[in-house]
Structure 1
């Protein structure tokens, strides 16, 4: 698995599904990403890709681990375009 490539794809999907705020940062909820058919086909382990992107300071979200259902409304913010 090429983590860097998966993170690049994640950035593209956040831009596609998210909304841009006044600061120029894209925001999307975890539920939106998780329930999107295209993302389901791209990411074998979405949560792992999110954690890798968070460690690289490309995105941010509250908490360590996001779980479908419980964290559907948690916003994910793209820090780097």
Structure 2
């Protein structure tokens, strides 16, 4: 699996589903991303892709680990457009 390719797909999906926040950055709620049918078809391990993207400083979110249901309202912010 090509992690860079997965992260690029993630960026595209965040841009598709997200909106600009007060800082002008694109952000999306984890629940919106997780429950989207297209994302479910693209990503086998969405949480793993999110962690890899966060490690590479492509995105930012407040929690160490994102769990469906518990963290649905956590904002995922795109740091690199």
Q: How much is the aligned-residue C-alpha RMSD, in angstroms?
A: 0.8
Aligned residue runs from structure 1 range 1-81, under 5 A: 1-81=1-81
Q: What is the number of residues matched between the two proteins?
A: 81
- State TM-score, norm by structure 1: 0.96
Cα distance, 1:23 vs structure 2: 3.1
For residues 2-26 of structure 1, what are the alpha-carbon distances to aligned partners after superposition, in whole Å with 9 as ceiling and x for unaligned? 1100000000000000001243310
Could you tell me how far apart the structure 2 residues matched to 1:63 and 1:26 are? 18
Name stretches of at least 5 consecutive residues in structure 2 with no aligned partner: none
For residues 23-79 of structure 1, what are the alpha-carbon distances to aligned partners after superposition, in whole Å with 9 as ceiling and x for unaligned? 331010000000000000000000000000000000000111100000000000000
